[in-house]
Amino acid sequence: MKTLILILVALFSFSAFSQDCATNLAQLKSLVANNGFPTKWAEKGDQNPFLLHISERNNLLNLRLTTKDGEWAMMDTRVCKKNSERYAAEVKKIVWGPAAPEIAKGRNVKEVGIRLPYHSTLEVSISIFWSGEFEPVR
């Protein structure tokens, strides 16, 4: 009986600390349960909208934010599931682009919040610094 309890405690401890995460596009599509998950998104309702490009780079997911003014940021990340519609992109490396304002370049971004309430809308936030709502680019 003690052995069974120890095994159950060990399994619970392991599952409490393990996360569902993705470091490539196939894993991301599986994580969000959508094989047709778009890799290009456009910010809704803005004069100079951000475009979000999702790709693979350096064995991680790469999130790239651009506008018509140019490159804002390129982030190498691992995306982990928080709950049924919330995810977190753990930023391993960020490179600020020339179009990013100086105030943004001074930020040390460690995580990007991602909410996927529907497969047709993606909400992205960087702490209290910025948030935007995106739709797929077809």
Note the pTM of the prediction, 2 decimals: 0.81
Compute the distance between CA of residue 130 and CA of residue 66 in angstroms, rounded to an integer: 14
- Residues lower than pLDDT 70 in the chain: 1-19, 128
Query: Is 116 inside any structural domain?
Result: yes
Total domains present in the chain: 1
Query: Is 14 inside any structural domain?
Result: no
Query: Is 9 inside any structural domain?
Result: no
Compute the distance between CA of residue 63 and CA of residue 42 in angstroms, rounded to an integer: 13
Q: Give residues with Cβ within 8 angstroms of 8, minimum separation 6.
A: none
Query: Is 35 inside any structural domain?
Result: yes
pLDDT, tens only, 40-71: 999 998 788 999 999 999 999 999 999 999 99
Residue 45 confidence (pLDDT): 86
Residue reference for tokens 């890799």: 39
Query: Is 110 inside any structural domain?
Result: yes
Query: Is 6 inside any structural domain?
Result: no
Q: 56 lies in which domain range? A: 20-136
